[in-house]
Structures are given as C-alpha cells and as structure tokens.
Amino acid sequence: MVPAARIDGEGVIKALSPRLAIILLAAALLLYPLVLSGAFYRDVGVAFLLAAISASAWNIVGGYAGQVSVGHSMFFGLGAYTPLLFYSLWGWPPIAGIPAGIALSIGLSLLIGMPTFRLTGHYFSMATIAVAELIRIFTGTWDFVGAAIGLQGPAIARGWWDLTFRSEVPYYYLFLAVLALLLAVTTFIERRRFGFYLRAIKASERAARSLGVPVRRTKMQALALSAAFTSVAGSLYVIKTGFIDPDSAFGILISVQMVIVAALGGAGTLFGPLVGALILIPLQSATNTWFGGGGSGLTYILYGGIIVLIARFEPGGLFELWQRVAPALHKLLRKRLHV
C-alpha cells in the first residue's frame, strides 16, 4: 500500500498549489467584513484594499517595468480632487469625476514620461518626486481648489449615486471589485507581449532595444495605465472620506506607501502588492491605535525600517523569499506524509 500513500501525499502537495492559495485568499477577502464586523476591522479592511489598489497600480510601471516613481501621489491626488471639484462646482455626484481624473492623470503621465523616459537611471524617480511636490505646494495656494483647506463632498447622500454610505461594507466591496479588475488587467498584461517587454526593459533597456522593443513607447504606455488606475484609487478614497486636502492627496507619504507596499510583498509580481498591503496596513493601523495621535510619526519609522530590511536582506520582497523557502517546505511536508 506504499504506492497509494505516495499518491495521497502528492495529492495533498499538489492541492497546496498557487491556484488553491488564490481561491482561499479570494474567499477570505469576500467573507472578511461579514466575519469581522467591528468598526476597527472594517476600517482596516477598507484601508488595506485601497493600499493594495494603489500599490498594484504603481506596480505596473514601478514593478514590472522597473521605472520607480516616487511621485505617484500626483495621480492619486488628481483622482481625488476631480470628483470633489465637480461636486463643489456643479453639484455633480463625485463618481462623475472619475473619468476626468483618469484623463487628467494620463495627460500628466505623458507630460512627465516624454522628457524623462529619454534618459535612463534615476532621473525619472527624481522628476516624479519634484512634480508631485510642486503640485502639492501649488494646490495649497490655489483658491479654486480650496487652497490649504481642500474640498468637501456631499455630507448627506442625495441619492445612491452619491455613493455616500454610513456603513463601511459597501465601500469594501466596491474597492474589492476594483482590485479584482486591476489584478485581472495585470494578469492579462503579464501574459502578453507588453508584459514581456516591460520585464525586458526592467532588466536591460539596451538589450531590449537591440531586440526591437520600442522602449520609450512601452514605458509611456505602462506609466499611462498605471496613472489611470492610481487615479481611480484616489477617486475611491475621496468618495469614501468625502474630503480632500493637499497633503492627503499629493503628500509624499502617499507615494512612498505605494513603493513600500509593493516592494515589501514583491515588486513586479502579481500578488506582491497585495501581500505587502496585507502586512503593512494592519501593522500601521495597530501602531496608530496603540500609540494614538502621538504615534503618527511612527509611520515614518515603520517605513524607514521596512526599506532598510528589504534593501539589506530581501530586495525581491517576501514573494522571492517565499519562492526560496517553498521548495524546502514542500520537501518537509512530503517527508511527513510519507513516514
């Protein structure tokens, strides 16, 4: 009966495949707000999804294509401001501002990409920081968009279309749907020529060019797509909070969080940003709760610590760590099942 036992063992190991992991993760995300219904848990859940969406959007250009933007808050901010600007100007439901936010973000991404993608190296990163900061400072002085005070959305819903809910649950599922769409788009890209080109560009632009890869155009497309989804993340954020100011839209921490979440889980991998958000956001919420307002500076310490750890020990993020550890775990598991 040894062969039968062997087959059973293989079966168990096979069942622990990535496919099953994805199904389990999806089920957990779907059930989460129903199982853990406390206000704190729901807050964390929504914050997690928003971070996962932002970081996954950043991941397209920052992870797959290796063009590290440290100013993605500019797209997040545009996506956040436009819905509330449309509301305050014409009383439109905030959701109507989403397409305009996307269009503005794509336009801005082209403006930034055209000059900077001629160059290689860190110029792109530096340009993105500079532009995001300029926009933040400028927004703080521009009365049309509320200057330093910012803009406010509808306090009480005039109808369902305002998407203003008392409960966190509708937001949770709305965000989850957007995350699912984004991951589907990323999977689609990953398997196509475009995805191969992005990874080739990340590894060596020179070699990619010699193989006929239109490097600049491909990077521009990646940045535009990434900007569009980051803008949507900003819109979702503002539809939920109903309020925006320059710092929470264009602040550097918004950009840095995207980079760290993606790098922690594994930049340039499909689920890296999700895993990163799964670890970082609860940690952040917990420290904020434990230390109250006095702990707000802890975010910086946390981010700094994570950067140091990733750079020193695991530049590929947790995903790569898992890839190295998984075979050993499988071996161990196999041994257990056989004996």
Partner 1 sequence: MSDAGHITAAKHLLEAISVSKSFGEFHAVAGADLTVNEGDIIGLIGPNGAGKSTFFNCLAGETPPSGGRIVFDGKDLTRASPEAHARAGIGRTFQVPTTFADMSVLHNVMVGAFLRHPHRNDARDKARAVLELTGLRAEQPARSLGTPGRKRLEIARALATEPRLLLLDESLAGLTPNELQDAIGLVRRIHQSGITIVIVEHIMEVIMTLTGHVLVFNQGHVIASGTPDSVVREPAVIEAYLGRSHRRPQATDSQVDR
- The residue ranges that bind partner 1 (CB under 8 A) are 191-193, 196-197, 199-200, 202-204, 206-215, 268
Instruction: Please state the closest distance from residue 123 (CB atom) to partner 1, in A.
Output: 19
Six token digits for residue 10: 């293989």
The C-alpha torsion from 175 through 178 and 184 to 190, rounded to 10°, is -90
CB 150 within 8 A of CB 245: yes
Instruction: Please state the closest distance from residue 209 (CB atom) to partner 1, in A.
Output: 4
- For 39, 241, 293, 303, 308, the CA distances from 287, given in Å and listed in that order, are 17, 21, 10, 12, 19
Task: Between 24 and 203, name the residue whose CB sits nearer to partner 1.
Answer: 203
Task: Between 115 and 214, name the residue whose CB sits nearer to partner 1.
Answer: 214
Among residues 289, 293, 301, the alpha carbon closest in space to that of 43 is found at: 289
Instruction: Please state the closest distance from residue 193 (CB atom) to partner 1, in A.
Output: 5
Instruction: Please state the closest distance from residue 200 (CB atom) to partner 1, in A.
Output: 5
Which residues are registered as beta bridge partners of 152?
Answer: 243
Instruction: Please state the closest distance from residue 187 (CB atom) to partner 1, in A.
Output: 13
Among residues 250, 302, 267, 252, the alpha carbon closest in space to that of 70 is found at: 252
Six token digits for residue 29: 């995300």
**Residue showing tokens 């100013």:** 71
Helix, strand, or coil here: 243?
A: strand
Residue 324 has a CB neighbour count (10 Å cut-off) of: 10
Task: Between 191 and 336, name the residue whose CB sits nearer to partner 1.
Answer: 191
Task: Between 39 and 210, name the residue whose CB sits nearer to partner 1.
Answer: 210
Task: Between 185 and 252, name the residue whose CB sits nearer to partner 1.
Answer: 185
Task: Between 84 and 213, name the residue whose CB sits nearer to partner 1.
Answer: 213
Task: Between 122 and 191, name the residue whose CB sits nearer to partner 1.
Answer: 191
**Residue showing tokens 């609860």:** 282
Instruction: Please state the closest distance from residue 264 (CB atom) to partner 1, in A.
Output: 18
Helix (H) or strand (E) holding 151: strand 151-152
Task: Between 37 and 120, name the residue whose CB sits nearer to partner 1.
Answer: 120
Instruction: Please state the closest distance from residue 204 (CB atom) to partner 1, in A.
Output: 4
- Rounded Cα distance between 283 and 180, Å, is 23
Six token digits for residue 263: 């790098």
How many whole angstroms from its chain centre is CA 219? 18
Instruction: Please state the closest distance from residue 203 (CB atom) to partner 1, in A.
Output: 4
